[in-house]
Amino acid sequence: MLNPAYGLLPQFAAHRHQPRAPRPAIALTRLPAVLRSGKLYRPVGKVYGACAVARARRGGELLDSAAKLFAANGFAATSVRTVADRARLTKAGLYYHIREKEDLLYRICHHSISAILAGARQAMTEVSDPRARIAALIRNHAEFFRNHPDNLAVLNRDMTALSAEPRAAIRKLERAYLELVRGAISEGQKAGVFRRQLDPTVAAFTMLAALNTLHQWYDPRGRIGHRALVRQITMILCGGVYAPERADEGA
């Protein structure tokens, strides 16, 4: 997921899927229009009241189910039929929610980075001390991992399977998150509480690399619970950026 050259994701050659003709019964918005509007894929037409709530809940369950499959088997190796069976839908029922399998991958990636970014921005507004802000960013990212462990695996590994335009939309959000973390580190340096000799970009990438790989090694069933995990990570990462006289305050 991390590329020191630029942004959070490596540059890959664009590949596009051939567009399909709209399905008469469930005509869906085309990808470019979705990206321009900033909205997720959705059926054309209006959905009201309890139906809208039920459909949103079912869509969330579908994304969680697909994320588990993608995380376990990889996006390319997971068939539409497998996704439908796991979600207890017919193949036709699955296509009521999506236009093609890539829609699921885009939604998982978009939800993941959007939720992390929104939580980080909120955390930044609640505290002003640079040290508290860095700790809050770490907690926010770790909390998303606890609630959606499969999503981070998919975002880190399979996002590059998206075609060029949706991949660029996700990368834009990731760059915004990187800038937020990098800015928080720079502010701490200006305040004199973070090590001045650190490069904010290197520090930001190091922090995000540690947080984005939790799914590769952390087992919540082990002896270290989530709260203890966050304390340990905060102590390690903050100890690396705090000025020497402040290093012990990350604990």
Domain ranges of the chain: 27-99, 104-250
The residues near 180 (Cβ < 8 Å, ≥ 6 apart) are 117, 120, 121, 124, 137
Q: What's the pLDDT at 47?
A: 40
The Cα-based distances of 116 to 32, 62, 163, 205 in angstroms read: 24, 20, 22, 16
CATH architecture of 27-99: Orthogonal Bundle (1.10)
Give domain 104-250's CATH architecture.
Orthogonal Bundle (1.10)
**What pLDDT sits at residue 58?**
64
What number is the average pLDDT over the span 118-128? 95
Instruction: Kindly report, residue by residue over 23-41, the tens digit of the pLDDT.
Output: 333 333 333 333 333 444 4
